[in-house]
Amino acid sequence: MKTSIDEEAHTGPYIVDACTVIDYQKTEDWVLKLFSQHFGPVYVAAPVLEDEIRHFTSEDCKRLRISVAQPELAQVVEAGKWQGPISRYDALTLIMARDNGWTIISGDKALSRQAEIENVKSIRGLRPMIMLVSGGHLPGDKAITIAQRMRALSPGFLNTKVLEAFRKEIREATTRRSRKR
């Protein structure tokens, strides 16, 4: 199962991790609403929302068409016992995705790697914008601007190599869209 930025298979519903919500929250949170409108339901685990994402409420979730998913007790217990390179909140996101057949949206490399190990579908945090551009729902130049702002805010998580690969995919998506016209 692929989880890299060049992944082609995308299916929802989706569950977002904290870092993805925070990246979009700090730049253009409406992208998440646009994505949910065109590609299917988007969820966030209630404990992730409550404990990891500052200044983002259930009202923000409603506005952006993100559903707050309550984990089952067994899922919380399993996440609490998680051994490995990801936090218990990321483990909860992974477990909920696994149990519900959801695709994870994450900019966290460790979570993406763990999803691959666990055979859980995942896409990287910038992939929703690529999908939106490919579908004609977001201008390519706007997507690049948003990604550049994300990089300025979190250069450690969005490195130059990832940003360049993103730009290339956006250019390709824009070219494909213009050829279809």
Nearest in space to 24 (alpha carbons), one of 113, 178, 143: 143
Q: Per the structure block, which two tokens stand in for 149?
A: 């702002």
pLDDT at 28 over 70: yes
Beta bridge partners of 13: none
- Supply the pTM of this predicted model: 0.90
Nearest in space to 60 (alpha carbons), one of 93, 33, 35, 39: 33
- Any idea where the domains of the chain sit in the sequence? 14-180
The pLDDT value recorded for residue 61 is: 95
* pLDDT tens-place string over residues 60-113: 999 999 999 999 999 999 999 999 899 999 999 999 999 999 999 998 999 999
Tallying the residues shown for the chain, one arrives at 181
Name 46's Cβ contacts closer than 8 Å, sequence gap at least 6: 68, 69, 70, 71
CATH number of 14-180: 3.40.50.1010
